[in-house]
Amino acid sequence: MITAPQLRAARSLLGIDQRRLAELSGLSVPTIQRMEASGSIIRGNVDSLMKLIAALEVAGIELIGEGAASQGGGRGVRLKTGFDPARASDAGDAEPGGGLP
């Protein structure tokens, strides 16, 4: 599960806009916009959610679920250890739906 605030935070950590996330995930910009406008837990078809989560993971985002090991508790996002966020914003040759090269 991923929440709209987690999605917005993940994009911010990566320094990418909605258009770039759409490219990385193989989803449309309106789909990303709808997901980010959700009240809490993002609702959508399973295929779209899996594409979104996979793209974020390939880009270096680790989703922190409710009750997961985290100093502050609660849901969140963090960059994977040793990840360079510039890869997500600069990778111009990423395949749609395939994440970063």
User: Is there a domain that residue 97 lies in?
Assistant: no
Model confidence over 11-70: pLDDT tens digits?
999 999 999 999 999 999 999 999 999 888 898 899 999 999 999 999 999 888 765 555
CA distance 72 to 65: 12
User: Is there a domain that residue 101 lies in?
Assistant: no
Residue 51 contacts residue 28 (beta carbons within 8 Å): no
At 50, list the tokens.
């899996």
pLDDT at 79: 73
User: Is there a domain that residue 100 lies in?
Assistant: no
In sequence order, the β-bridge partners of residue 77 are 63
Q: Which residue has the higher pLDDT, 100 or 6?
A: 6
**What's the first-to-final CA gap in the chain, in angstroms?**
25
- How many domains are there within the chain? 1
Banded model confidence at residue 77, pLDDT cuts 50, 70, 90: confident
Q: Residue 56 belongs to what domain range?
A: 4-90
Q: What is the maximal distance between C-alpha atoms in the chain?
A: 37
CATH of the domain at 19: 1.10.260.40
Can you state the angle between helices 46-58 and 29-37, rounded to 10 degrees?
90
User: Is there a domain that residue 99 lies in?
Assistant: no
Q: Which residue has the higher pLDDT, 92 or 35?
A: 35
User: Is there a domain that residue 80 lies in?
Assistant: yes
